[in-house]
């Protein structure tokens, strides 16, 4: 099972467990040793007292009495020396027994066929054992408390360079390009090795970011010009007299060019961080963006023989990044148009988002969770597309703090829901 606690807490836990184990072993050893020694001493003491009592000349007139916590009985004796019946069956030697509410140590001896029993009350020994348990238990708890305190102090000292390194790494993004390496500030130990590894990784990351920035600059410069030429050439061709087939092909090229221009713009925005992508870019309301896309995709959907339904339940003045919103909604409408052969496509604007619903072929349940990954397509038999549209939608939503979900319609079709959150 993987630990969820911090390293400092793990160190304290290890110290506490180790101390509990060691203190527990010592406590059990002390109690066991004291018990064995006390039992041995009791055996020796009772044996000596029994021997001393048996040396008295006249057994009928005992002049030397036992110790105050001891009782002495003789088989056939008189008065206080009379042996109770339950003691007459005891075997010879040292043993423990219970008489009524009390427990005793017993030493039994036989001389010339006559049985002698010497008892010692265990109450005093039990009181001493109770005190011993209290002292050992207090020492056990005190050792754990000291281990936790020492573990906390040691963990704080050991983890100090790690915490410092973590803080430096956390605040490094503010001056990433100008920040000096971290490893010279640390000794040649595990933390220093970690700092060197971070320096190497950050160097590679800095190089990768530089290459990405150069690539996005090249894309911006090299692709926009030919796309503008394609778009203007299509406009000039459409202004001339063309047969129906040629006009249809030129319009298809114009749509592809416009889509490519928007795609390039979207990727350039995604290449920046979210804060940079949110400033200096045109914004638009959800209704305005939807109206523009309805003009484009509504006609194409109806030209395919499908019913296009446009429901507006949103007149909010909240504005969003126009390029991103246009790309998300456009990709979902294109996806519905591409995978729907009969039935309808519905676009519904809600208070904080929109839905795109279709009666198309739908998406199998086993592929539904993977549809937002790159190069995954709903139907591999359809020739167009690389499976990047839904992946792009997911990336844009993640970049802007939006959310997108996919569910199935009955009996078939898809239902995409986009929640835009706060503007």
Q: Are residues 14 and 127 in the same domain?
A: yes
Q: Are residues 110 and 223 in the same domain?
A: no
Q: Are 329 and 284 in contact (CB under 8 A)?
A: no
Written as tens digits, the pLDDT of the chain (423 aa) is: 455 667 778 788 888 888 888 888 988 898 888 888 888 988 898 888 888 888 764 555 554 556 677 888 888 777 778 888 888 888 999 988 888 888 888 999 988 888 888 888 888 888 888 888 898 889 888 988 888 888 888 878 777 777 777 777 766 655 555 567 777 777 777 777 777 787 777 778 777 777 776 776 666 667 777 878 888 888 888 888 888 888 888 888 887 787 777 777 777 766 665 555 555 467 888 999 999 889 888 888 998 899 999 999 877 788 888 888 988 998 899 888 988 989 999 999 988 899 999 998 887 776 766 677 654 555 544 445 445 678 888 888 888 889 998 888 877 889 999 998 765
Residue 151: inside a domain, yes or no? Answer: no
Residue 148: inside a domain, yes or no? Answer: no
pTM exceeds 0.75 for this model: no
What CATH number should be reported for the domain holding residue 359?
Answer: 3.30.565.10
Q: Are residues 64 and 98 in the same domain?
A: yes
User: In terms of C-beta density within 10 A (0-12 exposed, 13-18 middle, 19 or more buried), how is residue 60 classed?
Assistant: exposed
Q: Are residues 412 and 285 in the same domain?
A: yes
Q: Are residues 282 and 265 in the same domain?
A: no
Q: Which of 127, 143, 159 is the last residue of a domain?
A: 143
Q: Which helix (H) or strand (E) holds 282?
A: none
Strands 414-419 and 403-408: antiparallel
Q: Are residues 248 and 292 in the same domain?
A: no
Residue 159: inside a domain, yes or no? Answer: no
Q: Are 120 and 42 in contact (CB under 8 A)?
A: yes
Q: Are residues 115 and 200 in the same domain?
A: no
Q: Which of 227, 245, 271 is the last residue of a domain?
A: 271
Cα separation, 328 vs 390, in Å, equals 8
What CATH number should be reported for the domain holding residue 211?
Answer: 1.10.287.130
**Closest by CA position to 111, among listed 81, 74, 63:** 74
Residue 13: inside a domain, yes or no? Answer: yes
Residue 113: inside a domain, yes or no? Answer: yes
Number of domain units in the chain:
3
In which domain, by residue range, is 22 found?
Answer: 7-143
Residue 164: inside a domain, yes or no? Answer: no
**Closest by CA position to 333, among listed 364, 299, 366:** 299
Q: Could you tell me the CA-to-CA distances from 58 to 8, 54, 62, 64 in Å, in that order?
A: 77, 9, 7, 11
Strands 102-111 and 93-99: antiparallel
Q: Are residues 111 and 236 in the same domain?
A: no
Q: Could you tell me the CA-to-CA distances from 304 to 68, 159, 387 in Å, in that order?
A: 114, 66, 22
Q: Are residues 316 and 396 in the same domain?
A: yes
Residue 17: inside a domain, yes or no? Answer: yes
Q: Are residues 306 and 334 in the same domain?
A: yes
Cα separation, 402 vs 185, in Å, equals 41
What stretches of 82-189 show up as alpha helix (H) in DSSP? 85-88, 123-170
Residue 286: inside a domain, yes or no? Answer: yes
Q: Are residues 257 and 281 in the same domain?
A: no
Helices 389-400 and 244-271: crossing angle in degrees, nearest 10, is 40
Q: Are residues 113 and 210 in the same domain?
A: no
């Amino acid at each position: 099972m993987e630990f969820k606690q911090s390293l400092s807490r793990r160190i304290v836990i290890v110290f506490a467990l180790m101390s509990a184990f060691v203190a527990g072993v010592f406590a059990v050893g002390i109690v066991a040793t004291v018990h064995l020694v006390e039992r041995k001493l009791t055996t020796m003491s009772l044996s000596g007292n029994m021997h001393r009592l048996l040396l008295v000349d006249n057994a009928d007139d005992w002049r030397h009495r036992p110790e105050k916590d001891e009782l002495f009985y003789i088989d056939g004796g008189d008065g206080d020396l009379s042996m109770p019946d339950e003691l007459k069956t005891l075997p010879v030697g040292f043993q423990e027994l219970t008489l009524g509410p009390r427990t005793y140590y017993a030493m039994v001896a036989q001389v010339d066929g006559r049985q002698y029993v010497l008892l010692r009350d265990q109450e005093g020994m039990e009181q001493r054992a109770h005190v011993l348990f209290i002292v050992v238990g207090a020492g056990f708890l005190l050792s754990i408390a000291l281990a936790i305190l020492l573990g906390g102090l040691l963990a704080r000292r050991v983890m100090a360079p790690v915490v410092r390194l973590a803080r430096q790494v956390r605040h490094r993004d503010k001056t990433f390009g100008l920040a000096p390496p971290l490893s010279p500030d640390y000794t040649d130990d595990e933390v220093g090795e970690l700092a060197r590894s971070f320096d190497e990784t950050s160097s590679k990351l800095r190089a990768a970011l530089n290459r990405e920035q150069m690539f996005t600059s090249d894309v911006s410069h090299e692709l926009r010009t030919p796309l503008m030429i394609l778009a203007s050439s299509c406009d000039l061709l459409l202004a001339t007299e063309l047969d129906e087939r040629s006009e249809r092909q030129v319009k298809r090229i114009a749509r592809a060019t416009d889509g490519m221009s928007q795609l390039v713009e979207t990727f350039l925005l995604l290449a920046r961080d979210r804060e940079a992508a949110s400033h200096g870019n045109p914004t638009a309301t959800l209704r305005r963006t939807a109206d523009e896309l309805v003009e484009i995709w509504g006609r194409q959907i109806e030209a395919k023989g499908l019913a296009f339904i446009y429901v507006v339940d949103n007149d909010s003045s909240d504005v969003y990044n126009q390029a991103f919103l246009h790309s998300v909604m456009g990709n979902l409408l294109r996806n519905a148009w591409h995978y729907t052969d009969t039935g309808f496509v519905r676009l519904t604007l809600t208070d904080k988002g929109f839905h795109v619903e279709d009666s198309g072929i739908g998406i199998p349940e086993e592929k539904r969770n993977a549809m937002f990954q790159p190069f995954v397509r709903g139907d591999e038999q359809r020739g167009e597309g690389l499976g990047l549209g839904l992946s792009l939608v997911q990336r844009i939503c993640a970049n802007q703090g939006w959310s997108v979900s996919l569910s199935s319609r009955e009996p078939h079709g898809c239902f995409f829901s986009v929640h835009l959150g706060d503007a």
